[in-house]
A and B are shown apart, each in its own frame.
Chain A
Amino acid sequence: MISAPDVVAFTREEELEDDLYREPPLPEEYSVPLFPFSGQGANPWAKVAGSKFTRDFILISEFSEQVGPQPLLTIPDDAKVSGTFDLNYFSLRIMSVDYQASFVGHPPGSAYPKLNFVEDSKVVLGDSKEGAFAYVHHLTLYDLEARGFVRPFCMAYISADEHKIMQQFQELSTEFSKASECLKTGNRKAFANELEKKLKDLDYTRTVLHNETEQQKKANDKGYYTTQAIEKANELASVEKSIIEHQDLLRQIRSYPYRKLKDSEFHPYEPECAQDRADMGSHDQDPTASEPGETHLYTHVPSYTPKLIKAKSAKCFDKKLKTLEELCDVYFFTQTLDQLHHIERTFRGDVCYLLTEQISRALLKQQSVTNFLFEDVSFLDEKPPEKQYRGCQGLGQDAMDEKCLEESLAPKVVISLGSYKSSVECVPIKMEQEMEDSEEPKMSESVMSEHQENLDYLDADIKGSISSGESIEVLGTEKSGSGLTKSESQASLPAMASPQAGRSKVGSRRTVSEDSIEVLSTCPSEALIPEDFKASYPSAINEEPYVDDDQGGLRFTPRASPGVHDGQDDISKQESLVQVDAACCIGKESPNFLEPLAEQLGQKACEEDGVVRIPPQPYRGPAEQGLRGGFPSHQGLSGGLLPYELDSRHLTGSREVSKSSLDECSDSTSHISSAASTCSDRTPSPAQPACAQPGDRHRKRAGQNALRFIRQYPFAHPAIYSLLSGRTLVVLGEDEAMVKRLVTALSIFVPSSGGYTKPVKHWVTSALHLVDFQKWKLIGLQRAVSPGGVNVLHALSRYSRYLSILDADSKTLRCPLYKGSVVARLADHRTQIKRGSTYYMHVQSILTQLCSKAFLFTFCHHLHLPISEREPEESVVNRRMNFLKLQLGLANEDIKIVQYLAELLKLHYIQEPGQGGNPLLRFDYVPSFLYKI
Chain B
Amino acid sequence: KSSVQTIGEEQIQNPYTELLVLKGHQDIVRFLVQIDDFRFASAGDDGIIFLWNAQTGEKLHELHGHTHKITAIAPFSSSDVAEEKTNLIITASADRTVIVWDCTSGRQVQKVSCFQSTVKCLTVLQRLNVWLSGGSDLCVWNQKLDLLCKTSHLTDAGISALVELPKNCVAAAVGKELIIFRLSASNNGYEGWNILEVKRLVEHQDNISSLVSVNDLTFVTGSHIGELIVWDSLDWTKQASECNFWDSSVHPDVQPEIKLSQSPHETSVQHLTSDEECVFAAVGKGIYVYNLQMKRVIACQRTAHDSSVLHIEKLPNRQLISCSEDGSVRIWELREKQQLPAEPVPTGFFNMWGFGRTNKQANQAAKKMQENTPVYFLELVGDLIGHSSAVQMFLYFGELGLATCSADHLIILWKDGERESSLRSLTLFKKLAQNGDLQLKL
| A residues adjacent to B (C-beta < 8 A) | 404, 407-409, 412, 769-771, 774, 795, 798-801, 858-859, 861, 864-865, 899, 903, 906-907, 909-910, 918, 920-928
Chain B residue with Cβ nearest A816: B9
Which one of A800, A925, A927 contacts B17 once the chains associate, using CB atoms below 8 Å?
A925
List B residues 92-143 near A (Cβ within 8 Å).
none
| Cβ contact within 8 Å between A907 and B10 | no
Q: Please name all residues of chain B whose beta carbon is closer than 8 Å to the beta carbon of A795 when the two chains form the complex.
A: 388
| Cβ contact within 8 Å between A926 and B10 | yes
Chain A residue with Cβ nearest B8: A927
Chain B residue with Cβ nearest A771: B21
| Cβ contact within 8 Å between A921 and B424 | no
Q: Please name all residues of chain B whose beta carbon is closer than 8 Å to the beta carbon of A924 when the two chains form the complex.
A: 17
Chain A residue with Cβ nearest B10: A927
A sample of 8 inter-chain contacts (CB < 8 A) reads A770-B388, A771-B23, A798-B385, A865-B425, A918-B56, A921-B19, A923-B19, A925-B10
Tell me the total A-B contact number using a CB cutoff of 8 A: 93
| Cβ contact within 8 Å between B18 and A907 | no
Which one of B18, B385, B426, B429 contacts A920 once the chains associate, using CB atoms below 8 Å?
B18
With known contacts A404-B442, A903-B421, A920–B11 Cβ distance under 8 A: no
| Cβ contact within 8 Å between A909 and B412 | no
Residue from A799, A909, A922, A925 whose CB has the most chain B CB atoms within 10 Å = A925
A407 to nearest B CB, angstroms? 8
| Cβ contact within 8 Å between B431 and A909 | yes
Assess whether B65 is interfacial by the CB under 8 Å rule.
no
Assess whether B371 is interfacial by the CB under 8 Å rule.
no
With A and B bound together, what is the CA distance between A924 and B410 in angstroms?
22
Q: Please name all residues of chain B whose beta carbon is closer than 8 Å to the beta carbon of A899 when the two chains form the complex.
A: 421
Q: Please name all residues of chain B whose beta carbon is closer than 8 Å to the beta carbon of A771 when the two chains form the complex.
A: 21, 23, 410
With known contacts A920-B20, A921-B19, A907–B417 Cβ distance under 8 A: no
With A and B bound together, what is the CA distance between A756 and B33 in angstroms?
38
| Cβ contact within 8 Å between A922 and B385 | no
List B residues 1-19 near A (Cβ within 8 Å).
8-12, 14, 17-19
Chain A residue with Cβ nearest B382: A925
Chain B count of residues within 8 A CB distance of the other chain? 39
With known contacts A927-B8, A927-B9, A910–B431 Cβ distance under 8 A: yes
Q: Please name all residues of chain A whose beta carbon is closer than 8 Å to the beta carbon of B222 when the two chains form the complex.
A: none
List B residues 184-207 near A (Cβ within 8 Å).
none
B34 to nearest A CB, angstroms? 20
With A and B bound together, what is the CA distance between A633 and B254 in angstroms?
64
Q: Please name all residues of chain B whose beta carbon is closer than 8 Å to the beta carbon of A921 when the two chains form the complex.
A: 18-21
Q: Please name all residues of chain B whose beta carbon is closer than 8 Å to the beta carbon of A770 when the two chains form the complex.
A: 19, 21, 386-388, 410, 412
Q: Please name all residues of chain B whose beta carbon is closer than 8 Å to the beta carbon of A798 when the two chains form the complex.
A: 385, 388
With A and B bound together, what is the CA distance between A923 and B421 in angstroms?
12
| B residues adjacent to A (C-beta < 8 A) | 8-12, 14, 17-23, 56-58, 382, 385-388, 410, 412, 415, 417, 420-422, 424-429, 431-432, 437, 440, 442
Which one of A861, A906, A927 contacts B424 once the chains associate, using CB atoms below 8 Å?
A906
With known contacts A771-B21, A909-B431, A925-B17, A918–B57 Cβ distance under 8 A: yes
Q: Please name all residues of chain A whose beta carbon is closer than 8 Å to the beta carbon of B385 when the two chains form the complex.
A: 798-799, 801
With A and B bound together, what is the CA distance between A803 and B20 in angstroms?
17
Residue from B12, B386, B426 whose CB has the most chain A CB atoms within 10 Å = B386
| Cβ contact within 8 Å between A925 and B9 | yes
B146 to nearest A CB, angstroms? 41
A335 to nearest B CB, angstroms? 37
A748 to nearest B CB, angstroms? 26
Residue from A412, A920, A924, A927 whose CB has the most chain B CB atoms within 10 Å = A920
Chain B residue with Cβ nearest A906: B424
Q: Which 9 A-B pairs have the closest CB atoms?
A: A864-B425, A925-B11, A906-B424, A927-B9, A918-B57, A910-B427, A404-B442, A770-B386, A922-B18
Which one of B14, B425, B427, B432 contacts A925 once the chains associate, using CB atoms below 8 Å?
B14
With A and B bound together, what is the CA distance between A907 and B424 in angstroms?
7
With known contacts A770-B412, A926-B10, A927-B10, A408–B19 Cβ distance under 8 A: no
A725 to nearest B CB, angstroms? 13
Given contacts A920-B420, A922-B417, 6 further A-B contacts (CB under 8 A): A906-B428, A918-B21, A920-B20, A921-B20, A923-B19, A926-B9
With known contacts A412-B442, A927-B10, A864–B422 Cβ distance under 8 A: yes
With A and B bound together, what is the CA distance between A858 and B432 in angstroms?
12
A265 to nearest B CB, angstroms? 24
A324 to nearest B CB, angstroms? 47
Chain B residue with Cβ nearest A412: B442
Which one of B17, B424, B425 contacts A923 once the chains associate, using CB atoms below 8 Å?
B17
With A and B bound together, what is the CA distance between A261 and B56 in angstroms?
46
| Cβ contact within 8 Å between B424 and A903 | yes
Which one of B14, B428, B442 contacts A910 once the chains associate, using CB atoms below 8 Å?
B428
With A and B bound together, what is the CA distance between A838 and B330 in angstroms?
49
Q: Please name all residues of chain A whose beta carbon is closer than 8 Å to the beta carbon of B8 when the two chains form the complex.
A: 927
A883 to nearest B CB, angstroms? 13
With A and B bound together, what is the CA distance between A674 and B428 in angstroms?
49
Chain B residue with Cβ nearest A905: B428
Q: Please name all residues of chain B whose beta carbon is closer than 8 Å to the beta carbon of A926 when the two chains form the complex.
A: 9-10
With known contacts A924-B17, A925-B9, A769–B388 Cβ distance under 8 A: yes
With A and B bound together, what is the CA distance between A807 and B412 in angstroms?
29
B326 to nearest A CB, angstroms? 10
With A and B bound together, what is the CA distance between A189 and B385 in angstroms?
70
Which one of B9, B388, B426 contacts A864 once the chains associate, using CB atoms below 8 Å?
B426
| Cβ contact within 8 Å between B417 and A910 | no
B425 to nearest A CB, angstroms? 3
Chain B residue with Cβ nearest A858: B428
A332 to nearest B CB, angstroms? 40
Residue from A899, A909, A927, A928 whose CB has the most chain B CB atoms within 10 Å = A909
Chain A residue with Cβ nearest B13: A925
With known contacts A864-B425, A910-B427, A918-B56, A925–B12 Cβ distance under 8 A: yes
Q: Please name all residues of chain A whose beta carbon is closer than 8 Å to the beta carbon of B420 when the two chains form the complex.
A: 920
B343 to nearest A CB, angstroms? 33
Residue from B382, B410, B425, B432 whose CB has the most chain A CB atoms within 10 Å = B425
With A and B bound together, what is the CA distance between A918 and B52 in angstroms?
13
Q: Please name all residues of chain A whose beta carbon is closer than 8 Å to the beta carbon of B21 when the two chains form the complex.
A: 770-771, 774, 918, 921
Which one of A800, A906, A928 contacts B425 once the chains associate, using CB atoms below 8 Å?
A906
With known contacts A799-B385, A918-B56, A926-B10, A909–B18 Cβ distance under 8 A: no
| Cβ contact within 8 Å between B424 and A865 | no
| Cβ contact within 8 Å between A801 and B388 | no
Q: Please name all residues of chain A whose beta carbon is closer than 8 Å to the beta carbon of B421 when the two chains form the complex.
A: 864, 899, 903, 906
Which one of B18, B58, B429 contacts A861 once the chains associate, using CB atoms below 8 Å?
B429
With known contacts A925-B12, A926-B10, A928-B9, A408–B440 Cβ distance under 8 A: yes
With known contacts A918-B57, A918-B58, A865–B426 Cβ distance under 8 A: yes
Chain B residue with Cβ nearest A775: B21
With A and B bound together, what is the CA distance between A861 and B431 in angstroms?
12
With A and B bound together, what is the CA distance between A770 and B413 in angstroms?
12
Chain B residue with Cβ nearest A861: B429
A863 to nearest B CB, angstroms? 8
Q: Please name all residues of chain B whose beta carbon is closer than 8 Å to the beta carbon of A910 when the two chains form the complex.
A: 424, 427-428, 431
Q: Please name all residues of chain A whose beta carbon is closer than 8 Å to the beta carbon of B22 when the two chains form the complex.
A: 918
Residue from A861, A918, A923 whose CB has the most chain B CB atoms within 10 Å = A918
Q: Please name all residues of chain B whose beta carbon is closer than 8 Å to the beta carbon of A409 when the two chains form the complex.
A: 437, 440
A626 to nearest B CB, angstroms? 43
Q: Please name all residues of chain A whose beta carbon is closer than 8 Å to the beta carbon of B440 when the two chains form the complex.
A: 407-409
Q: Please name all residues of chain A whose beta carbon is closer than 8 Å to the beta carbon of B17 when the two chains form the complex.
A: 922-925
Q: Please name all residues of chain B whose beta carbon is closer than 8 Å to the beta carbon of A864 when the two chains form the complex.
A: 421-422, 425-426, 429
Q: Please name all residues of chain A whose beta carbon is closer than 8 Å to the beta carbon of B18 when the two chains form the complex.
A: 920-923
Residue from A770, A800, A928 whose CB has the most chain B CB atoms within 10 Å = A770
With A and B bound together, what is the CA distance between A407 and B440 in angstroms?
8
Q: Please name all residues of chain B whose beta carbon is closer than 8 Å to the beta carbon of A404 when the two chains form the complex.
A: 442
With A and B bound together, what is the CA distance between A909 and B437 in angstroms?
11
A313 to nearest B CB, angstroms? 62
With A and B bound together, what is the CA distance between A865 and B386 in angstroms?
31
Q: Please name all residues of chain A whose beta carbon is closer than 8 Å to the beta carbon of B422 when the two chains form the complex.
A: 864-865
